[in-house]
Amino acid sequence: MKDMLAEAMSPGNVRHVKNAAYTAVFAADKEPGRSTRKLMDLETAHGAHPAYVSSLPSKITLLLGSGAVSKRIRKLGSHLLSPLSPSPVVSTSNEAWAVKNTTFAAQQFMLAATACGLRTLPMEGFDERRLAAILDMSTDDYTVPVVICVGHSTEESDQLAKITEQSVELSYSKSLPNTSIDLPKKARFPIEDMCFSEKFGQKPDFL
């Protein structure tokens, strides 16, 4: 799979994919509004107030409804409301909204990897058509805004090879304060619905 992914990358990024321990491909749903019912069920299962759940279809339709004419009307309405009350800018492209929100997830992925002592390399130099073919992903439904390589640098890998697992755990435990914060658990789609391995829709082995 690594060599196949490398073939979809621009020449300058081929070596990064081949040398990385792991490569993550982030795909954005071009029509995120189609997950409305799934989101409603998820929020209900996590105890969201019924009034909030019932308001989701209208809110999502306002923001992500399909149809070029309706999008332009919503954009104009948002523009006219702005002088009277703060109103979000309604994009005429659901794809643009999806890409923006997917990059939020990519950013969190990079921060989490860094927190675990790993290095990340975001890349936008790739052939999306080749990626989609390799991953069995529909380009009509999804687009790929970023690909991220993850791993240790060559120097770090050499150093880690000389460190025992016990000393790593000891060093890690000493470097972090013994604190815990109880935060309310937010509703999240199951990871097996959001993360795939090798092929689009294929459940990762670690799940």
* Integer CA distances (angstroms), 125 to 10, 119, 153, in order: 5, 19, 21
Amino acid, single-letter form, for residue 146: V
Residues 46, 17 share a domain: no
Residues 125, 24 share a domain: yes
pLDDT of 190: 82
pLDDT of 176: 47
Residues 117, 146 share a domain: yes
Residues 38, 26 share a domain: no
Residues 43, 10 share a domain: no
- Please check whether residue 195 lies inside any domain of the structure: no
* Integer CA distances (angstroms), 135 to 1, 8, 97, 110, 132, in order: 9, 11, 23, 22, 5
What is the spatial distance between Cα 120 and Cα 140, in angstroms, rounded to a whole number?
A: 29
What is the spatial distance between Cα 167 and Cα 164, in angstroms, rounded to a whole number?
A: 5
Amino acid, single-letter form, for residue 72: R
Among the ranges given (26-35, 118-127, 196-205), the one the predictor scored with the smallest mean pLDDT: 196-205
Judged against a pLDDT cut of 70, whether residue 155 lies above it is answered with: no
Domain count, the chain: 2
Bridge-partner residues for 9, per DSSP?
126
pLDDT, greater one: 14 or 170: 14
Chosen domain end from 139, 154, 169: 154
pLDDT of 195: 83
Residues 149, 76 share a domain: no
- Please check whether residue 192 lies inside any domain of the structure: no
Q: Which domain holds residue 127?
A: 1-30+93-154
Residues 99, 13 share a domain: yes
pTM of the model: 0.69
Residues 88-131 have pLDDT tens digits of 676 657 888 899 999 999 999 999 999 998 999 999 999 999 99
Residues 105, 19 share a domain: yes
Q: What H or E segment, with its residue span, contains residue 92?
A: none
Chosen domain end from 119, 137, 154: 154
**For 20-34, what is the mean pLDDT?**
92
Residue 168: band (very low, low, confident or very high) from pLDDT cuts 50, 70, 90: very low
Going by C-beta distance under 8 Å and a sequence separation of 6 or more, which residues neighbour residue 70? none
pLDDT of 127: 96
pLDDT of 91: 62
Which tokens go with 39? 């989101």
Among the ranges given (59-63, 65-69, 161-165), the one the predictor scored with the smallest mean pLDDT: 161-165
Q: At what angle do helices 36-45 and 50-64 cross, to 10 degrees?
A: 160
pLDDT of 200: 82
- Please check whether residue 200 lies inside any domain of the structure: no
Residues 39, 13 share a domain: no
Which tokens go with 26? 């982030």
pLDDT of 181: 44
